[in-house]
Structure 1
């Protein structure tokens, strides 16, 4: 099984990659939207080549819910499904009823049609939704029976209000888990937003509104783990309910996850989409694509540099001090998003300067990064008790 999240696909017909588009994403959150068509195509071809039994995409399929983006993405997913892989999707907070759905041309943007909950259901009806008989009546949540002893619980927390599930959906979840336990079925849960908090700076708007109730249910009925995204960070929490966050496919290093489960051993491995190889196969002349791992990481660092630099504008720092602070922050931030372990000694001078002269939210955020990057979050192995 392959899992991916936060594609944020934008139809190529909705941008000419002009000044407005370029300025918007050069000052955003690190999504490499300049190459989102190439990223998506490389991913589709990769999944077709690997031919897993299932591809799960856990929300934020589109940049901002543009109807054209949904329609084009579904055509790409249809190619995967025609190759023998069942594609399963749920909506994210960027996929339905988005008033900010837009196209970007020259120095301006133009609002375009988004889609409704019903249109999402129709567009992706072959990808786990309309064709599934075991689904929640009040949301786009459903069960996919992967095997007789293994189900996927695809939880929608965005089709009515972003980041929320209703009491009726919560009751449906419990009935479903009761049935699974009675039939000795193992369940893997999938959501867009998170059940657990992975960083104190990413809680409000990132954790599902009924997360504590869901955690109680998942632990009560022995759910294997929850697989989600939304934060764009590669991360895991395993102390109580295991929760795996796969980082955004649109953000360096462009991860997707590979899951194997034989009934006793559950294995998750983050893999990097090798867009460099895809570019060479397609005889691209774009140097950024031909060395995409390097160029995309640099893009992410530059975006983070701009954001952090605004925090340092009013401080009495020398140029060399400012450069050291920014280099330290941007590299650590990129490693954090990639789920890498970090040797603090490699950043000793910069960290010492941050602690002496840094302040505010960026210093607090840096502390959470250092606490989190003492180990890698690219692999998880669970032994399932009989």
Structure 2
């Protein structure tokens, strides 16, 4: 990717308080140390099939996601988990169903933006990392980013602004 620091300096120069975009898969919300909030809403075509909603009230902007409701929602949601499970089966030795499930749970929560739902387990993580270093680095990056709910945020602005 690259260019993030330059982009942030341009945002700061022109007084941009937030950047809202879409993403091909994951839901993500971040605020940098200078107060710029960036929200990438996950693709509507990927579980949990959500879209972003902005509510503006005075000097406050609230963002949250809402999920589509449709007749095959549960099957489509299960499909996302199943794909993650199969990916773990392909990348880990046979007979590690508990690790496959753990990977699928973490990956599904990560994609949805509901990382607060991740039940982090150091023992399972270590076992997974021992058997597949790439999966280990991937899960480590998810945890290092913070196990937070990234489906909502609030931005306040005045002369200075902040996100809660």
**Band of TM-score, shorter chain:** 0.7 to 0.9
Q: Residue 303 of structure 1: which of 65, 68, 83 is its match?
A: 83
What residue in structure 2 maps to residue 336 of structure 1? 110
Identify if the C-alpha distance between structure 1 residues 373 and 215 changes in structure 2 by more than 3 Å, giving closer, same or farther: closer
Q: Is the 8 A contact 2:128 2:135 kept in 1?
A: no
State the 1:352 CA deviation. 4.4
What's the offset of the Cα at 1:217? 1.1
TM (normalized to structure 1)?
0.38
Residue 242 (structure 1) shift? 0.9
* Match status 1:214 vs 2:15: no
* 1:228 counterpart residue number: 21
Q: In proportion to residue count, which structure has more strand?
A: 2
d(CA) in 2 for partners of 1:352, 1:255: 32
3-state secondary structure, aligned to 1:344: coil
Taking CA–CA contacts closer than 8 Å with sequence separation of 6 or more, which of the two structures ends up with the larger relative contact order? 2
Give the Å deviation of 1:349: 5.2
Equivalent residue, structure 2, for 1:350: 124
What count of residue pairs does the alignment treat as equivalent?
156
Query: 8 Å contact 2:54–2:64 — kept in the other structure?
Result: yes
Question: Structure 1: 5+ residue runs without aligned partners?
Answer: 1-206, 280-288
8 Å CA contact retained: 2:105, 2:118? no
1:141-220 correspondence to structure 2 within 5 Å = 207=1, 210-220=3-13
The secondary structure found in structure 2 opposite 1:244 is: strand
Shift of residue 231, structure 1, vs aligned partner: 4.2
Q: 1:261 and 1:342 mapped to 2: Cα distance?
A: 28
Could you tell me whether the CA contact under 8 Å between 2:64 and 2:152 is conserved in 1? yes
Mapped to 2, the partners of 1:269 and 1:224 lie a distance apart of 17
> Is residue 339–residue 373 contact of structure 1 (8 Å, CA) maintained in 2?
no
Matching residue within 272, 276, 289 for 2:67: 272
What is the CA-CA distance between 1:210 and the residue it aligns to? Answer: 4.2
In 2, Cα distance between the equivalents of 1:247 and 1:372? 17
Larger CA Rg, structure 1 vs 2:
1
> 2 CA distance for matches of 1:323 and 1:360?
18
Instruction: Decide which of 74, 88, 99 is 1:325's aligned counterpart.
Output: 99
Name the SS of the counterpart of 1:267 in structure 2: strand
CA deviation string 1:41-70 (max 9, x = no partner): xxxxxxxxxxxxxxxxxxxxxxxxxxxxxx
**Matched position secondary structure for 2:47:** coil
User: TM-score, length-normalised on structure 2?
Assistant: 0.83
Kindly state the Cα deviation for residue 251 of structure 1 after the two structures are TM-superposed.
0.5
Contact 2:99 2:128 in 1 (8 A): yes
- Identify which of 215, 232, 238 aligns with 2:31: 238
CA root-mean-square deviation: 2.1
* CA distance, structure 2, for counterparts of residue 385 and residue 376 of structure 1: 25
State the Cα distance separating 1:213 from its structure 2 match: 2.6
Structure 1 pair 353–360 and aligned structure 2 pair: CA distance change class (3 A): closer
Residue of structure 2 aligned with 1:365, choices 114, 138, 155: 138
Tell me the SS of whatever aligns to 1:252: coil
